[in-house]
Structure 1
């Protein structure tokens, strides 16, 4: 029996770290090898040619890296990349593109239509507020590239009901659109049996601090500026709070300057990039996870990872976040509101969080499972070919 060849198109892929990259990887490696042959088409941002990652064949097309210096991961395939799309899409049974606004998605669906290949689109985010003229560019891109990709797709998968409403506003047909929640690796992200103090010693965190962890790229939409304002307020009341921010990005120097201005060097630390393999240690060493995003969240994986590790969460009311958190495992606050966020953080620092921790783990076990996600994805592939 011939295996089903799936050409998965993503503008970025591992070793570049991001939410879409993780989703593509987790789904692809879980496709049963005896029935499926997935290949990845991605940009040459991190690698220049083809490579193999955990038995996944990855092929890179040359790109113009249009927005990276501004912190916007947007690249445009060069003309000779067209041949790579023709070669691999022509040989596959189904094309699965990730993200509607990217030129690579546009090129992939045009080539798929040329060869009459069925198209699956997964949309990961809602509208992203960049806080600049890029909002206008994004809206125009949605109307030109995004709508074209959405119209061409035979099946549209969205990661939350918020993302569903977003693609419907861009012309998606409800009958071909389905919510398919992301998952989390429940074995890798789990409550540690070792004591929290031992883990803190391992990663160099003070034992007597109440640790608030954030894993975010340092860009406007992710709200680290709001988190810093709330930290200033909260630390005035509780100087034992320690804020740890994992992630890099173009706003790092701006945030560092604010940390110095507020004199929070001891209580607010930018840890920079941390390898994905080390993230579970930081989740398990923390007391509370904070997601201060301003916009664009479809189904944030870091939130699921934190909850799988037994962390209660405080997050802003954006995108699909309210579909993850209930009052038994955390709290939702308005975006861009440092005062409300500070009060929520202080509330948890004064509370017994053990019950929240247990409920957080139970919720992700019940609702956000990669195996269940991939079972449905397989059904969709088989329905379309």
Structure 2
């Protein structure tokens, strides 16, 4: 007959600090608790639990969102078994037990405050980004996402998190619901988390641009990004006291060729502003064709700009990111171009047509 041998207590003080409630095998060993003794505490009815291999939670109840995140990071970040030892303390104060692992996908977006992402406590799966060479397996609520190009993490309240665009691409890769994909992409742009071109680049890297639930969402994303960039441009002109331009016009030589569309134009000074909201759709192209398309697009833009400047039109090139992060500086650039008009040779006459 089996006897229930009483557990020998482990005198570790339970605190409000999640780092003291969720510990790896190596961290417990550094506190004088052997793996066998730790496993003993996780027996049925015991005071501890082991939610993941090599990870222990020092209470028996349900895990909080932060405990689930920390357990996932400790599992994914533990050193290889062949050289297992307690990692040295890090100078930045981050937990060395996390290694190079970082939270990505929906759990990361939840940490960034996305309303379209479920809270981490109710997320069935936590995606963790790890180097491709790691031999760990996905287990229970942890899905490992391997990459040969590990980004630099953002630190949110002590948790290493993949940059927004990367986390967004990893989340979209695991979603089949077109509505959910659209909500996430829209919130990323409207919330000012990242620019559309950066998002599309990450979606391309994740090889999901051709998926039906992504195609239409990306089209909406680019339209949303364009509208947002135009709003920033309007705000820059009006809030920094620049003269009101003609908005969204086409320029054409009388009886001649179309010179191109510009987002703002000051005819007396012959100054034009162009917003660069390009986000190439490369998913169907191999690397060589991708480079060729990029070079062709840039050559066409450069040729059009040079043509305008030969006609005496100054073209100011602005990106959505510049308008978001350095709006005052961009206003100064435009104001300088307008002031310099008096010292330039008068521009050729061009026709201005509504776009």
Q: Output the TM-score relative to the length of structure 2.
A: 0.25
The structure number with the bigger radius of gyration is: 2
Q: Output the TM-score relative to the length of structure 1.
A: 0.24
Greater RCO between the two (CA within 8 Å, min separation 6)?
1
